[in-house]
């Protein structure tokens, strides 16, 4: 489908950390349904020693054109990865374009399929609706819908995933976070370089953050706690992004709370 922003890619490489996407599960289901619906010899995939099988089937009465790619899960040289619409940043592009942009060090792309749903917003095109992890980096937060992934033992999993992303302020209070998405009128979003060159926001209060010496290292990964210091506070929005820092953008009551705290600290220094 043209316009999708993410596609799972099967690659030949033994060392890639992987996370399949929901669309790939649909590919496996298509194989199972096709096998049950028609068991004629002509519909069976050709045998390969490479651990994968592909064939094309049709149900002309619907009409359906069914592309089936079967993977032998016992093969450790076949793995899944997710892609971003613009190579190393979020965006929009076709599945074939994303397959061409897979880094050569990940291996040779063999098959690709549309990934998850995405939110439509002119400033954040291709923003994944739910969780996405690419090469170990978290680029989009979960939103409570079903997600598909491969666990550490190599087994496929699928269930609803909820976000526990939050910032813990210096006074001990916490605020829930979105990640690389449209900022709500009253809330907080964390932005990383996976979004692109800047946050694309207007106004609000933005903290440019850098890691401390006792913190987990960037990029963002699941299950980690990052200790950050504020390098700069900005009120004009559209803060620059790079691989060595994050930007926390807050609005509404969250902005008022932390603006008041900044003024209080400034008075104490005087």
For residue 153, being part of any structural domain is answered with yes
| Amino acid 266: pLDDT | 41
**Residues 114 and 20 placed together within one structural domain of the fold:** yes
| Amino acid 257: pLDDT | 66
Instruction: State both tokens at 178.
Output: 């979105």
| Amino acid 256: pLDDT | 61
| Residue where a domain stops, chosen among 160, 195, 227 | 160
**Cα angle at 155 between 131 and 113, to 5 degrees?**
55
Residues 6+ apart with CB under 8 A from 171: 261
- Convert the pLDDT of each residue in 176-220 to its tens digit: 999 999 999 999 999 999 999 999 999 999 999 999 988 899 999
| Amino acid 12: pLDDT | 30
Q: DSSP per residue over 77-133, as a string?
A: TEEEE--BTTBSS-----HHHHHHTS-GGG----EE-----EE--TTSTTEESS-EE
Alpha carbons 232 and 246: distance in angstroms, whole number: 11
Alpha carbons 245 and 249: distance in angstroms, whole number: 13
**Residues 133 and 204 placed together within one structural domain of the fold:** no
| Amino acid 19: pLDDT | 29
For residue 3, being part of any structural domain is answered with no
For residue 2, being part of any structural domain is answered with no
**Residues 110 and 211 placed together within one structural domain of the fold:** no
Instruction: State both tokens at 59.
Output: 């149900």
**Residues 62 and 105 placed together within one structural domain of the fold:** yes
Instruction: State both tokens at 259.
Output: 């603006």
| Amino acid 176: pLDDT | 94
Q: In which residue ranges of the chain is pLDDT below 50?
A: 1-42, 263-269
For residue 115, being part of any structural domain is answered with yes
Alpha carbons 247 and 207: distance in angstroms, whole number: 6
| Amino acid 44: pLDDT | 56
For residue 68, being part of any structural domain is answered with yes
**Residues 173 and 59 placed together within one structural domain of the fold:** no
**Residues 181 and 70 placed together within one structural domain of the fold:** no
**Residues 143 and 222 placed together within one structural domain of the fold:** no
The overall pTM is greater than 0.85: no
- Convert the pLDDT of each residue in 8-34 to its tens digit: 333 333 222 222 333 333 333 333 333
CB 162 within 8 A of CB 142: yes
**Residues 239 and 189 placed together within one structural domain of the fold:** yes
| Residue where a domain stops, chosen among 160, 194, 224 | 160
**Residues 143 and 13 placed together within one structural domain of the fold:** yes
When divided into structural domains, the chain yields a total of 2
**Residues 17 and 145 placed together within one structural domain of the fold:** yes
For residue 34, being part of any structural domain is answered with yes
**Residues 57 and 178 placed together within one structural domain of the fold:** no
**Residues 97 and 30 placed together within one structural domain of the fold:** yes
| Amino acid 223: pLDDT | 87
CB 176 within 8 A of CB 164: no
Residues 6+ apart with CB under 8 A from 28: 156
Q: Which domain holds residue 125?
A: 9-160
| Residue where a domain stops, chosen among 118, 142, 160 | 160
For residue 1, being part of any structural domain is answered with no
Alpha carbons 114 and 63: distance in angstroms, whole number: 20
For residue 210, being part of any structural domain is answered with yes
């Amino acid at each position: 489908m043209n316009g999708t922003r993410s596609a799972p890619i099967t690659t030949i490489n033994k060392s890639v950390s992987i996370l399949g996407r929901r669309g790939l599960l649909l590919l496996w289901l298509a194989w199972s349904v096709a096998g049950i619906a028609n068991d004629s010899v002509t519909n069976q995939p050709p045998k390969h020693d490479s651990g994968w099988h592909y064939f094309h089937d049709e149900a002309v009465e619907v009409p359906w054109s069914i592309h089936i790619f079967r993977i032998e899960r016992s093969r450790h040289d076949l793995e899944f990865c997710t892609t971003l619409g613009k190579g190393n940043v979020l965006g929009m592009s076709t599945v074939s374009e994303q397959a061409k942009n897979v880094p050569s060090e990940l291996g040779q792309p063999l098959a690709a399929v549309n990934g998850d749903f995405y939110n439509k917003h002119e400033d954040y095109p291709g923003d994944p609706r739910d969780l996405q992890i690419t090469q170990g980096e978290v680029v989009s937060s979960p939103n409570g819908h079903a997600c598909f992934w491969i666990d550490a033992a190599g087994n496929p999993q699928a269930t609803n995933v909820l976000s526990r992303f939050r910032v813990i302020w210096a006074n001990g209070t916490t605020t829930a976070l979105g990640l690389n998405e449209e900022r709500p009128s009253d809330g907080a979003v964390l932005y990383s370089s996976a979004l692109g060159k800047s946050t694309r926001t207007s106004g609000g209060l933005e903290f440019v953050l850098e890691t401390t010496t006792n913190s987990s290292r960037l990029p963002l990964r699941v299950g980690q706690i990052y200790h950050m210091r504020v390098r700069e506070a900005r009120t004009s929005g559209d803060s620059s992004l790079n691989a060595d820092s994050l930007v926390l953008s807050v609005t509404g009551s969250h902005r008022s709370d932390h603006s008041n705290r900044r003024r209080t600290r400034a008075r104490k220094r005087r």
